[in-house]
Structures are given as C-alpha cells and as structure tokens.
Structure 1
Amino acid sequence: MNGNNPYAGAPGVVGAGQTSANVEDLSAAELRQLRQAVAGIVAQTRTYLPDSYAIGSELSNGSNGPRATVAVHPPVGHPVSAGLTPDPDDLESGLSSEECTEVARGLAASAAFQVMSTVGDDLTPTAR
C-alpha cells in the first residue's frame, strides 16, 4: 500500500518521508546553464530537419531532480523525445557540445525514421 502514501517515496530514488518537492532545486546559474543547453539542442535539431517538424522543450522537476525534455513531432508518425537528467556538477561546467550534438542528431534521425516508417516505399520520387 506504499503507492497510496505520498511520503513513502520510490525505493532508491526519493527517501522515505520525502516527496519530490524536497529534492534539492537548481540554483539560478545552474538553471540558466540547463536552459542554454536545451535551447542549443533545439536549435541544432532544427538545422537537421525541415520546417514541417515541430520541435519543443520542457524543463521540470522530477523525482530524481531537474529534468529536461526535448521533443520532435514529425508531420506524420509518432513524436520522439529525449530526456536529460543532468548532474548538478555537469551543469556548473555546462553540458558538453558533444553531448548536445549527439542528442540533436539522435532526435532528428528518430523523427526522420518515424516519417519513413509511416510513409513506407509507396512514394514516387519527384526528383533525383
């Protein structure tokens, strides 16, 4: 019946007697670093995809601390997303550009694959 008790917490995630609101919040500088990293991922993902793909992001506070989500909704097919739960130590120095590039490329590739999976091979190419 621990699921009914808001103070039980998930084992190994939030200690008993704590809720996610008790988890340490980010400082203003750390939050700014996270926002900049997420904005960079969104901007880089936009460079890989046409304008018909909707790209957005969200910052939230989960049970493991701060969480950033970047999502891509292709014109057809299912949306894809990537979640980031950075260490506060990583935020002080900033997320590496390699990590941000990897996330952006992965999202763009997954979104393009969703379109290809939905459309299939039934299209006749208009140009080569």
Structure 2
Amino acid sequence: MNGNNPYAGAPGVTGAGQPSQGHELTGEQMDSLRRVVAGIVSQTESYLPEGFAVGSELSTGPNGPLATVAVHPPVGHPVSAGFSPDADELDAGLTDEDRDEVARGLAASAVFQVMNAVGDDITPAAR
C-alpha cells in the first residue's frame, strides 16, 4: 500500500484525503482572489488581438488555493501562469504592478508561441 491510507504518516501531519491545515481562505479572501484573477484575465486580453483565448481557474492544492491564468494562442502551445497566495498576501492585496507584470508576461509568451509556430514562412499581404 506504500502508506496510501488515511492512517499513514507521522503524527501531526495532515492525513491522506484531508484538507491541509492553515491554508483555508475565508469567503472574503476567495472573492478577493477571484477579482484579482479576473483583472489579470481582462488585462491580458487587452494586450492581445482577437483569436487568443484567455481563461482562468481557481483550485485548491495541497498547499492551499491555486490560481492559474492561461492563454491559448490561435497557433502554437498554450501558456499559463499560476500562483498560490497565502491569506496574508490576499489581505495586503496584490499590487497593480504585479498584476500588470503577469498579464504582460502571458501576452508576450503567447505571441512568442505564435511566432515560433508560424516562423518566417509567411508572405506579407501588404507592404
């Protein structure tokens, strides 16, 4: 079984299938995280032309909440950025500079994926 049961592990360690202790967010903190992630999605979309799909996901991992923002370009591989904030970070608030940096980085990475997929083989439609 390799210790894959709820009774395995050292005392004081979170058991299998149990939520991790001290990593839960309040309802207000989750709402704050949703607003932050929605703002990053909106800002990323503003940097990109049509054809790029931008989305997000909020989940809970072993270390607490996990927020992911992803961009799927029209060609090339999708790119994503994820972060796992703690309650103190959410209470202090993520700065506009941090949000802008994530949005710009995602947009640039998505455009780079398109450039890599297309290469130099495109004939310009106009001069």
Q: Give the number of the structure whose alpha-carbon radius of gyration is greater.
A: 2
Which residue identity lines up with residue 88 of structure 1 in the other structure? Answer: A
Give the structure 2 partner of residue 127 of structure 1: 126
Pairing 1:16-55 to 2, within 5 Å after superposition = 16-17=14-15, 19=17, 21-23=19-21, 24-55=23-54
Distance 1:20 1:80, change over 3 A: farther
Q: Report if the CA contact (8 A) 1:20-1:63 is conserved.
A: no
SS at match of 2:19: helix
Give structure 2 stretches of 5+ with no counterpart: none
Give the C-alpha shift of residue 126 in structure 1. 2.3
Query: How many residues end up aligned between the 2 structures?
Result: 123
Runs of 5+ in structure 1 lacking a partner?
A: 10-14
- TM value normalised by structure 1: 0.86
Q: Deviations over 1:22-59 (max 9, x none)?
A: 34321011011101110010000001101200000000
Taking the aligned partners of 2:70 and 2:17, their CA distance within structure 1 comes to: 27
How many angstroms does 1:103 deviate by?
Answer: 0.5
Amino acid at match of 1:38: V
Structure 1 match to 2:98: 99
What is the CA–CA distance in structure 1 between the aligned matches of 2:62 and 2:41, rounded to whole Å?
A: 24
Residues in 2 aligned to 1:109 and 1:19: alpha-carbon distance in whole angstroms: 39
Q: Which amino acid aligns with 1:124?
A: T
What one-letter code is carried by the residue in structure 2 that aligns with 1:36? R
Q: 1:89: how far off? A: 0.4
Aligned residue number for residue 12 of structure 1: none
Q: Which structure has greater helix proportion? A: 1
Per the TM alignment, residue 5 of structure 1 is displaced from its structure 2 partner at its CA by 3.9
Residue in 1 that maps onto 2:59: 60
Between the aligned residues of both structures, percent identity stands at 61
State TM-score, norm by structure 2.
Answer: 0.86
Separation in structure 2 between the aligned mates of residue 103 and residue 6 of structure 1, nearest angstrom:
38
